[in-house]
Amino acid sequence: MIIDCHGHYTTAPGEFEAWRKAQIAAFESRGAAPAKSALKISDDQVRASLEGAQLKLQRERGTDVTIFSPRAAGMAHHVGDAATSRVWSEVCNDMIHRCVSLYPRNFVGVCQLPQSPGVAPANCIAELERCVKELGFIGCNLNPDPSGGYWKDPPLTDKWWYPLYEKMVELDVPAMIHVSSSCNPNFHATGAHYINGDTTAFMQFLTSDLFKDFPTLKLIIPHGGGAVPYHWGRYRGLAQDMKRPPLKEHLLKNVFFDTCVYHQPGIDLLLKVIPVENILFASEMVGAVRGIDPETGHYYDDTKRYIDAIDWVSAEDKRKIFEGNVRRVFSRWKQ
């Protein structure tokens, strides 16, 4: 089985975005927020939005299941307040649940958390529990910077985040560390802010004892780990200078990288540098980069193709990347 551990619902019907716009407009004008029931999208609309996009690409590329979450840029935790974020997260997660219910063989759910800048992450516990226990979700996306590019909250290793980690451990669900949109004009969202977020999270873990406190916590750094695999020597050297343990024992029981790297040399490097046990197959389709690479004639985000093309990784190791590791990290999932 080929499991794509990183897909977002980026093709929701227009009514979905319209509801969000109405919610934001109501917040800004201090008017009455739209009711959740005001969002009317039929099952046929949901099917159409998936058939022409994720499902078509799954079939074309030969992937079986996508671990599916709300659109990352759409989380926009910096918009509105904690109440805005709570209701928006519920609406987004319910929408993912509908997709999974319509196509249970193709999708499994991962939730958005109702984060808000300056609000303790413990505030997300109720929605995480609802999604895992009632909707059958198997993980969450955790935004390390709810302020959207200004990094105003404590690092991921601060005790500020611990109540949420305690609940993740209790529920046996991992988090993908995933920023949302950028409202800092210095940082392009998918080109800079995403990769910054990935790299920053890794360095926070390196300088902390987070995994001494949470030996079973599982965190996925997407987009191939940001700059981390490319600069692995720098991180090993920094850990050494700081008298931290070697990275393999310090972080790699808990930190995993996905394969959302959109060219062959990048995937080659990832697989050469990072132990195979720490790599999970993913494409992030339909997502950050939607075009076709004129040098290859294939979609940039058709990441399965890059892994298939490597002849120096054994079939057994490829099975770990495509399925075994994903199942080990998302261990709540029994399908």
Catalytic positions, written as ranges: 284
Give the one residue of 4, 153, 198, 284 binding Zn ion; rule: CB under 5 A: 284
Q: Would you say 4 or 153 has its CB closer to Zn ion?
A: 4
Considering the complex, state which of residue 46 and residue 282 has its C-beta at the smaller distance from Zn ion.
282
Q: Does the protein bind Zn ion through residue 228 (CB under 5 A)?
A: no
Q: Between 69 and 254, name the residue whose CB sits nearer to Zn ion.
A: 69
**Helix (H) or strand (E) segment spanning residue 215:** none
Q: Strands 255-258, 140-142: parallel, antiparallel or unpaired by DSSP?
A: unpaired
Strands 279-280 and 255-258: parallel
CA distance 157 to 244: 15
Please report which helix (H) or strand (E) contains residue 292, including its range. strand 292-293
Residue 208 burial by Cβ neighbours in a 10 Å radius (0-12, 13-18, 19+): middle
Task: Name the residue nearer to Zn ion (CB basis): 49 or 112.
Answer: 112
Question: By C-beta, is 49 or 143 nearer to Zn ion?
Answer: 143
Residue choice 72, 91, 228, 321 for contact with Zn ion (CB under 5 A): 72
d(CA 286, CA 269): 24
Q: Cα–Cα distance between 330 and 157 in angstroms, integer?
A: 21
Q: Closest approach of Cβ 260 to Zn ion, in Å?
A: 7
Residue sitting closest to Zn ion (CB): 72
Number of residues counted as binding Zn ion (CB under 5 A): 2
Shortest Cβ 244–Zn ion spacing (Å): 29
Residues 6+ apart with CB under 8 A from 274: 225, 229, 232, 257
How far is the C-alpha of 127 from the C-alpha of 89, rounded, in Å? 8
The DSSP-derived string for 69-120 is EE-HHHH-TTSS-HHHHHHHHHHHHHHHHHHHHH-TTTEEE-EE----TTS-
Task: Scan for tokens 């305690």, then name that residue.
Answer: 166
Measured from the CB atom, the residue of 73 and 247 that comes closer to Zn ion is 73
Q: Angle at the Cα of 186 (from 181 to 192), degrees rounded to 5?
A: 60
Report the interface residues with Zn ion, using CB under 5 A.
Answer: 72, 284
